[in-house]
Amino acid sequence: MFELNERLAADTFEVCDLAVSKVLLMNDTAYPWLILVPMQNGVVELADLNEQDQQTLMTEMVQVSEVLKELTGAHKMNVATLGNVVSQLHVHVIARFEDDAAWPAPVWGKTKAIPYGAQAQAKFVEVLQQKLA
C-alpha cells in the first residue's frame, strides 16, 4: 500500500488520484501550488519510475499545470522535482504571478506559508477535482 511521506501529508490537502500521481494542494495561499506524488513506495528520482510511468507523469504534469494556469490566470508555471528535504519523489506545480511574494525567484524558502481557511480550501479543492476529473 502506498504511503505518503508524513511531511508532504502535513503540508497539503488531498485533491484526487490520477493514473500515476496523487494530487495535493499545498497549504499556502501565497501561491496556487499543487504537488504530484507518484503512488509508488521507494521512488526518489524520475529514473526510479518505469518508462511508461515517466511518460504518464509528464502527461499529468502538463495537465495539472494547464488546469492550474487556466483557473488562476498565472503568468508562468513552475514545474520542479527537487526532493532535497523530502526524498519521496514529488513534482511541484506552482502558478506564478509577476506580483507574487517571491517573483521572479523560486518560491521555496522565501515566505512563511499562509494557510487556507477551511472554506477557501474546500472550495479550491472541489474546483480542482472537477477540472481534473
Give the binding site for a copy of itself (CB under 8 A): 44-47, 51, 54-55, 57-59, 61-62, 65-66, 69, 76-85, 87, 96, 103-106, 108-109
Asked if 95 and 30 count as a contact pair (C-beta separation under 8 A), the reply is no
Shortest distance (Å) from residue 9 CB to a copy of itself: 19
Which residue, 32 or 116, has its beta carbon nearer to a copy of itself?
32
Closest CA to 115 of 5, 22, 31: 31
Which residue, 16 or 79, has its beta carbon nearer to a copy of itself?
79
Which residue, 87 or 129, has its beta carbon nearer to a copy of itself?
87
Shortest distance (Å) from residue 99 CB to a copy of itself: 12
Which residue, 82 or 120, has its beta carbon nearer to a copy of itself?
82
Closest CA to 38 of 26, 20, 24: 20
Backbone angles phi, psi at 31, to 5 degrees: -145, 135
Shortest distance (Å) from residue 94 CB to a copy of itself: 9
Distance of CA 37 to the CA centre of its chain: 8
- Residue 64 burial by Cβ neighbours in a 10 Å radius (0-12, 13-18, 19+): buried
